Structure formats: structure tokens, C-alpha cells
């Protein structure tokens, strides 16, 4: 087991699938340049950044990771291992670190020969890595790769991100890639806010059923009835204790209510700012931030967005 090898738990780790071999580079060169005017420019590392930086940006600060099960076109180099080590993450590779011998794999597969290699039994090793990866809670991969796209699909699009960013090509024909829906709430907000929030959450459950994750950054700890209500509807609650409360209260007191009604109420003003901390909590490449007065009536997912979707932040009203 990977977790016992690393002396931690599966929730402390990430499965990382990295495509960078010569065959992949050649594939990307051909795939990105098919003359059909379809955008396909996300085959390699986003913005050509180093892999460990792209991974670091995709680990929520509130839920740090300590190890990575690495699957790649070749063994991780010592330089790559050191890059991750500098971020406090141990890189684990099945073959390099002797997690499972070729002989044990051959015996488990009941092969007639025990002499196997990646050259002669590549698909078998891919199956081993695939199912090992599937046991690990979080995943980071390359969304253009079918291996990665299937890992994301296994997780229903949740607890998954991809270092090449933007679209999942397989999503055009396999619309199973949901986007986590995220709310914010503070117990200091006006009472109407809670009622609107409940209506919005019920609309999500009525539309998606249990197929989509609902998250909420929750500030406060006294309204246990509401917390129990959120649990009843399988809302993932993240305890939110902002470090900037004093700062924004000073801003609110210096604000002009004639410019915004939000300056009139401390709780509503806190709720407005809570969204800036979403990246600290949510383990996903993309999230859909939902205002409490929003009613969701149609199912949507990654397939509803343009292939050249924003790699960063998009806002609309």
C-alpha cells in the first residue's frame, strides 16, 4: 500500500500523472496543429512553468499534502525529486522506490513468465498505476491525456486538477466532468441571507441530485441547527476564520453607504470578502462560486465551457 510505505495516510497524498516523454511531445505537436480551427493549445505545462510550481499552486493551503505518487513517461529525475522536496513533498515512484517488484506484478497477473518489463508489458504496468492512483484521494494530471481524463472522471471531477489547465477534450464526448459549487456564509449576516442560501442549495440538489459537490466556507460556530441542515444535504463545510477581519472592518467604517449598501452591515460586508479565500480550501481546477440568491435550474459541467476557457479567474453577474 502506498500510504503504509510513506508512513502517512491516503488523504495526505496526491496521485500525479505527468506526460513529458518524446512520444507525448510529438503527439502534442501534431494534435495542436490539426488544421480544423479547433483550439488545442493546452497539451503541455501551463505557461511552460516547472511542474513542482504548477502542483504547488493546486494544493489548497488549508489541506496540505506530504507525498506524491508519481506516474510519468520515465522515472522522476533527481532534480525533480529535489524540486518537490524543497516544497516539503516526498515524490514516490513505483519502480524507482521498489514499491512493487516486476516479479510480484507478474505473479499477481498469473503470467507464465516472471521476466517482464515496461517494454514488453507496458499496458500491464499502466493498469497497476491506474488502480493505485484511483485509491489516492487527490489527483493532478494532464487533462489531454486519456489516463488523466479517466482519473478525473472516476472522481466525478472532484478533488482533481490538471497542470496543463483549461479544458478536458474528452469532456466533449463524455459530459461527466462536474464543477464543484461553492458558497460562502457568515453567521453575522442578516437573516434573509440564510433563507436565500437554503433555497439556492435546495435548487442545486434538485437539479444535480448528489452528483455534484457543494462546498461552503462557513464563518461562525454557534448556529448548530443550520450546520445540521447543511450536513443533511451533504454540503461540505469548511470552517472559515479569516485573518483579515480587522482590516476590512476598518475599510467598512471608512466606506460611504451612498456608494454601496454593504457598508451598512458588518456581517454582509464580511460575506462579500469571504470569496477571496476560496483557493485556500477547495481542491479543484475550477469551481463555480454561487451567490446565495442564485437558483440553479439546469445541469452544467466542464463540457458547457469553451475549450479555450480562462486559466484563471472569471466573474460575471
Q: Is residue 315 part of a domain?
A: no
Residue 311 lies in a domain: no
* 91: pLDDT strictly greater than 60: yes
Report the C-alpha gap between 42 and 44 in whole angstroms: 6
Cell numbers describing residue 292: 446565495
Q: Where do we find the cell 439556492?
A: 200
CA–CA distances in Å: residue 122 to residues 106, 110, 119, 125, 271: 12, 16, 6, 5, 52
Residues 6+ apart with CB under 8 A from 286: 179, 302, 309
Tell me which of 175 and 117 has the higher pLDDT.
175
The length of the chain is: 317
152, 172, 192 — which closes off a domain? 172
Alpha-carbon gap, residue 219 to 185, rounded angstroms: 6
CA 196 to chain centre: 27
Please indicate, yes or no, whether residues 193 and 163 belong to a single structural domain of this protein.
no
Report phi then psi at 59, rounded to 5: -105, 115
- Same domain for 198 and 149: no
* Better-scored residue on pLDDT, 282 or 8: 282
- In this prediction, residue 83 has a pLDDT band, given cuts at 50, 70 and 90, of very high
> Is the confidence at residue 62, as pLDDT, over 80?
yes
Is the per-residue pLDDT at 113 higher than 80?
no
Mean confidence (pLDDT) of the chain: 90
* Count of the separate structural domains present in the chain: 2
| 154 lies in the same domain as 186 | no
Given this model, what pLDDT does residue 120 score?
59
Instruction: Tell whether 310 is covered by a domain.
Output: no
Beta-carbon contacts of residue 222 (< 8 Å; ≥ 6 apart): 187
Task: Report the CATH number that the domain containing residue 140 is assigned in CATH.
Answer: 3.40.50.11350
Binned at pLDDT 50, 70 and 90, residue 111 comes out as confident
Query: At 289, is the pLDDT very low, low, confident or very high (cuts 50, 70, 90)?
Result: very high
The answer to whether residues 269 and 240 belong to one domain is yes
Q: Exposed, middle or buried, 47 (CB in 10 Å: 0-12/13-18/19+)?
A: exposed
- Shared-domain flag, residues 97 and 206: no
**Is 63 in contact with 86 (CB distance < 8 Å)?**
no
158 and 13 in a single domain? The answer is yes
Tell me which of 172, 191, 209 is where a domain ends: 172
- Tell whether 115 and 28 lie within a shared domain: yes
**Which residue range(s) make up the domain with 144?**
2-172
Q: What percent of the chain has pLDDT over 70?
A: 91
In a shared domain, residues 24 and 158? yes
Is residue 188 located within the same domain as residue 85? no
Residues 137 and 212 in one domain: no
| pLDDT at 63 > cutoff 90 | yes
pLDDT at residue 253 is higher than 50? yes
Would residue 317 count as lying in a domain? no
Strand partners, 14: 68, 138
| Alpha-carbon gap, residue 276 to 221, rounded angstroms | 20
Instruction: Give the Cα separation of 301 and 216 in Å (integer).
Output: 19
* Structural domain includes residue 312: no
Query: What pLDDT, in 10s, does the model give residues 114-132?
Result: 666 666 566 787 888 999 9
Q: Is 25 helix (H, G, I), strand (E, B) or coil?
A: helix
Burial zone of 66 (CB within 10 Å; 0-12 exposed, 13-18 middle, 19+ buried): middle
Residues 139 and 253 reside in one and the same domain: no
pLDDT bucket at 47, cuts 50 / 70 / 90: very high
Model confidence pLDDT, tens digit, residues 207-247: 999 989 999 999 999 999 999 999 999 999 999 999 999 99
User: Is 308 inside any structural domain?
Assistant: no
Record the pTM.
0.89
In a domain, 305, yes or no: no
Confidence (pLDDT) at 317: 45
Asked if 233 and 206 touch (Cβ cutoff 8 Å), the reply is no
Q: What is the pLDDT of residue 273?
A: 94
Binned at pLDDT 50, 70 and 90, residue 7 comes out as low
Whole-number Å distance between alpha carbons of 208 and 205: 5
Residues 263 and 137 in one domain: no
**For the segment 156-165, what is each residue's pLDDT rounded down to a tens digit?**
878 999 999 9
Amino acid at each position: 500500500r502506498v500510504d503504509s510505505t510513506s508512513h502517512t495516510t491516503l488523504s495526505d497524498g496526491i496521485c500525479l500523472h505527468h506526460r513529458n516523454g518524446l512520444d507525448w511531445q510529438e503527439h502534442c505537436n501534431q494534435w495542436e496543429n490539426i488544421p480544423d480551427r479547433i483550439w488545442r493549445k493546452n497539451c503541455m505545462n501551463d505557461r511552460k512553468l516547472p511542474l513542482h510550481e504548477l502542483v504547488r499552486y493546486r494544493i489548497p493551503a488549508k489541506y496540505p499534502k506530504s507525498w506524491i505518487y508519481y506516474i510519468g513517461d520515465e522515472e522522476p529525475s533527481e532534480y525533480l525529486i529535489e524540486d518537490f522536496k524543497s516544497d516539503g513533498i516526498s515524490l514516490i515512484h513505483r519502480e524507482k522506490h521498489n514499491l512493487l517488484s516486476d516479479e510480484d506484478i507478474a505473479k499477481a497477473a498469473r503470467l507464465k513468465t516472471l521476466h517482464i518489463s515496461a517494454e514488453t508489458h507496458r499496458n500491464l504496468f499502466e493498469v497497476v498505476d491506474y488502480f493505485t492512483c484511483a485509491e489516492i484521494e487527490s489527483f493532478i494530471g494532464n487533462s489531454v491525456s486519456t489516463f488523466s481524463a479517466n482519473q478525473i472522471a472516476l472522481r466525478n471531477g472532484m478533488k482533481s486538477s490538471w497542470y496543463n489547465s483549461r479544458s478536458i477534450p474528452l469532456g466533449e464526448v463524455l459530459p461527466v466532468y462536474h464543477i464543484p459549487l461553492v458558497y460562502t456564509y457568515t453567521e453575522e449576516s442578516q437573516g434573509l441571507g440564510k433563507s436565500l442560501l437554503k433555497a439556492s442549495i435546495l435548487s442545486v440538489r434538485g437539479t444535480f441530485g448528489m452528483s455534484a459537490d457543494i462546498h461552503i466556507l462557513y464563518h461562525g460556530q454557534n448556529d448548530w441547527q443550520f450546520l445540521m441542515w447543511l450536513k443533511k444535504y451533504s454540503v461540505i463545510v469548511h470552517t472559515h476564520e479569516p485573518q483579515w477581519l480587522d482590516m476590512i472592518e476598518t475599510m467598512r467604517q471608512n466606506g460611504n453607504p451612498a456608494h454601496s449598501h454593504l457598508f451598512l452591515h458588518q456581517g454582509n460586508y464580511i460575506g462579500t470578502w469571504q470569496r477571496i479565500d476560496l483557493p485556500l480550501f477547495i481542491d479543484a481546477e475550477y469551481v463555480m462560486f454561487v451567490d446565495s440568491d442564485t437558483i440553479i435550474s439546469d445541469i452544467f459541467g466542464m463540457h458547457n465551457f469553451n475549450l479555450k476557457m480562462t486559466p484563471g479567474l472569471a466573474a460575471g453577474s
